[in-house]
Amino acid sequence: MPASLSPRLAAIVNALPLQPHSRVLEIGCGPGSAARAIAARLTTGHILAIDRSATAIAQAEAASVEEVASGRMTVRHVAAEEFVPQAHEEPYDVVFAVRVGALDGRHPQVGQRVLQRIAMATTADARLFIDGGDPLRELPIPRS
């Protein structure tokens, strides 16, 4: 576990059901600390870290050169409610968000749009986790 990870983020990363081949989507990655810790656990898997803040994405890119170069991590500047997987992207099987108002109930209308975007970008048996549990709680991904 990288030294830059707070105990809280370390607990969240440790609680995720990660496999070496997992495809992970982090919503609201900030400077990318959790994404780097997850990338370190992946072999054939991949993590895409997104954030609405250009500053956060610039910080994540600057701190994640090795992980991005390895092919295990990508960062993208996009708001969760605007996220659309690119044509070549395989679906994700684990999604998580820490302190994201659209998913923790602070912005329910935006949250519905985010959940629709997550549903479009994930496998049928994907799982979505947010902070606020012990240390995580799982939210259902709506399937139409």
Domains of the chain, first to last? 7-135 (3.40.50.150)
pLDDT, tens only, 77-108: 999 999 999 999 999 999 999 999 999 889 99
Q: What is the pLDDT of residue 3?
A: 53
- Residue 9 · residue 37 · CB < 8 Å: yes
Tokens of 3: 């030294």
Rounded Cα distance between 59 and 87, Å, is 26
Cα–Cα–Cα angle for 115, 141, 125, rounded to 5 degrees: 135
Rounded Cα distance between 22 and 43, Å, is 9
* 50 three-class SS: strand
* 25 three-class SS: strand
pLDDT, tens only, 34-90: 999 999 999 999 999 999 999 999 999 999 999 999 999 999 999 999 999 999 999
DSSP category for residue 131: E
